[in-house]
Amino acid sequence: MAFGFIVAIILLGLLLIFLEIFFIPGTTLFGVLGGLALLIGIVLMYSYYGTKYGHITLGLSLVAVFISIGLGFRVIESNKLSMKAEITGKVNELEIKGLEVGNIGTAITELRPNGKAIFEGIKAEVFSNGEYIARNTQVEITKVTNDKIFVKPLKS
């Protein structure tokens, strides 16, 4: 069997083990496949090239595994691969400034009980108090909470 093919099997095994440890931990599939490839490569080296080359391959493989694990831990400790962004937003938080109780606008969709309305050029999702409000009806803001704007129809 070709020497290069056996070395390629061993390198593939080392790569799969490295992937299992640092990039996709917990799956064990890549670790098991990597270990099998490494073991097969070492056994093939013993079989085709004898004890001397088998021992050399075994030693170099163990050294390579320990070096790759050590280098991987250094990369992880340096935080070069970690994401440093923080989520600072909040769910259902209104980001529309300037809308307050008493503002008058127009329903641009039907409100049953929620829909869209426009107030001084600001389009917002609004809620009625459970009643149906037709499109193009004048509405007035009655209540503003952290996540909802409540309206009522204006009586003409």
Identify whether 96 is part of a domain: no
Q: Bridge-partner residues for 39, per DSSP?
A: none
> 8 and 54, same structural domain?
yes
In this prediction, residues 111-133 reach a mean pLDDT of 90
- Give CA–CA dist 108/116, Å, rounded: 6
- Give CA–CA dist 156/147, Å, rounded: 29
Contact 22, 72 (CB under 8 A): yes
Residue 133 has pLDDT above 90, yes or no: yes
Q: What separation in angstroms does the CA of 24 have from each of 19, 88, 141? A: 6, 28, 52
Contact 149, 105 (CB under 8 A): no
> 108 and 68, same structural domain?
no
Q: pLDDT digit string (tens) for 42-62?
A: 999 999 999 999 999 999 999
Identify whether 84 is part of a domain: no
Q: What is the CA radius of gyration of the chain?
A: 33
CATH of the domain at 142: 2.40.50.140
In this prediction, residues 7-17 reach a mean pLDDT of 91
* Local confidence band at 145 (pLDDT 50, 70, 90 cut-offs): confident
> What is the span of the domain harbouring residue 13?
3-77
> 58 and 11, same structural domain?
yes
Give how many domains the chain has, as a whole number: 2
State which H helix or E strand residue 51 sits in. Answer: helix 29-77
Last residue within a domain, chosen from 61, 77, 93: 77
Identify whether 94 is part of a domain: no
